[in-house]
Amino acid sequence: MKILIVDDSAFMRTMIKNVLKDGNHEIFEAGNFDEAVKAFKENKPALIFLDVIMPGKNGVETLKEIKNIDKEAHVVMCTSIGGQQKIIDESVSAGADDFIIKPFKAEDIQKVVNNIANPAK
């Protein structure tokens, strides 16, 4: 599965990548809005892990742009605990498929990947 990881923190991108390394995945990375949109257009990933808080255009703006390009894109927002309800609500309205809370567990990442790879009928 092609997966795009979007986070301004190289450490967080590496953390997610390490969880996914044992799967048969092609991983792409982006650190901001422009890189994310470019990587999405070039690689057409099946799943995107998208950080909510980034410098410049945030994760919600990035989500909206990706959904404008492909309304069927599967996007999972990554957010820290606390005070994020407004952003979560806005992301769901914009079409986010799911959320994972930082700090996340490896099982959280695997569950999301499995749900996208094997959707319930």
CATH at residue 25: 3.40.50.2300
Give pLDDT, residue 86: 79
Tokens of 82: 């606390």
Q: What is the pLDDT of residues 86-108, one digit of tens each?
A: 777 888 889 999 888 888 899 99
**What does pTM read for this prediction?**
0.92
- Of 81, 38, 89, 83, residue with least CA distance to 62: 38
Q: What is the largest CA-CA distance in the chain?
A: 38
Strand partners, 98: 76
In angstroms, the CA 45 to CA 74 distance is 9
Q: How confident is the model at residue 70 (pLDDT cuts 50, 70, 90)?
A: very high
Mean pLDDT, residues 35-43 = 98
Determine the structural domain holding residue 56 and report its residue range: 2-117
Report helix, strand or coil for 50. strand
Asked if pLDDT for residue 75 goes beyond 70, the answer is yes
Mean pLDDT, residues 62-73 = 97
Number of structural domains (the chain) is 1
Give pLDDT, residue 13: 96
Phi, psi of 41 (to 5 degrees): -65, -40
CB 76 within 8 A of CB 49: yes
Q: What is the pLDDT of residues 8-25, one digit of tens each?
A: 999 999 999 999 988 889
CB 14 within 8 A of CB 38: no
Tokens of 77: 């927002």
Q: How confident is the model at residue 121 (pLDDT cuts 50, 70, 90)?
A: low
